[in-house]
Amino acid sequence: MRISFCFISLILLLMCELVIGQEIPAGNDSLVIGSQQNDDWLSSDKATHFVSSAFITAGGFYFFHQEQNVECDKSLLISASVTLAIGIGKEIYDRKNPKHVASWKDLVADIAGIGLAFLILKR
């Protein structure tokens, strides 16, 4: 029952992200990739970080808890840690790539997504 509740919740989150997320129109020079100009808290990028982190955490939990028979608390800790490492790695990549900009707000969105998955799965 826990996994089905989690799955439904995460599908709803994905649907919300698809509704919030907007494509950047081609030829709009004010929206330059790599600028801090588009680093709003309520942006499709933050929604993507949030939902992706929740999905990765939930998927990791399912893998470790259901497939590998690791106890619940350890599965949550492992999946949250792996997801956070992925988020930090993405920001390091963004910092080193001149076409991207690292953002601490992205990490906050990652942590919020991990937290939501943790709350749903711990229930």
Give residue-wise pLDDT tens across range 33-73. Answer: 445 556 788 888 899 999 999 999 999 999 999 889 999 99
The span from the CA of 109 to the CA of 69, in Å, is 29
pLDDT tens profile 87-103 = 999 999 988 988 888 88
Residue 42: per-residue pLDDT: 82
> Crossing angle of helices 44-62/72-96, nearest 10°?
140
Residues of the chain above pLDDT 90, percent: 48
Query: What average pLDDT does the chain have?
Result: 78
Per-residue confidence (pLDDT) for residue 40, from 0 to 100: 82
Query: Residue 54: what pLDDT?
Result: 95
Output the pLDDT for position 78: 92
Of 87, 79, 74, give the one whose Cα is nearest residue 61.
79
> Which helix (H) or strand (E) covers residue 22, if one does?
none
Taking phi over 0 as left and psi of -120 to 50 as alpha, with beta for the rest, 98 belongs to alpha
CA distance 98 to 107: 19
AA identity, residue 57: T
42 SS3 class: coil
The encoded tokens of residue 115 equal 């937290």
pLDDT band for position 10 (cuts 50, 70, 90): low
pLDDT for 25 = 44
pLDDT above 90 for 119: yes
The Cα-based distances of 15 to 80, 107, 115 in angstroms read 22, 21, 19
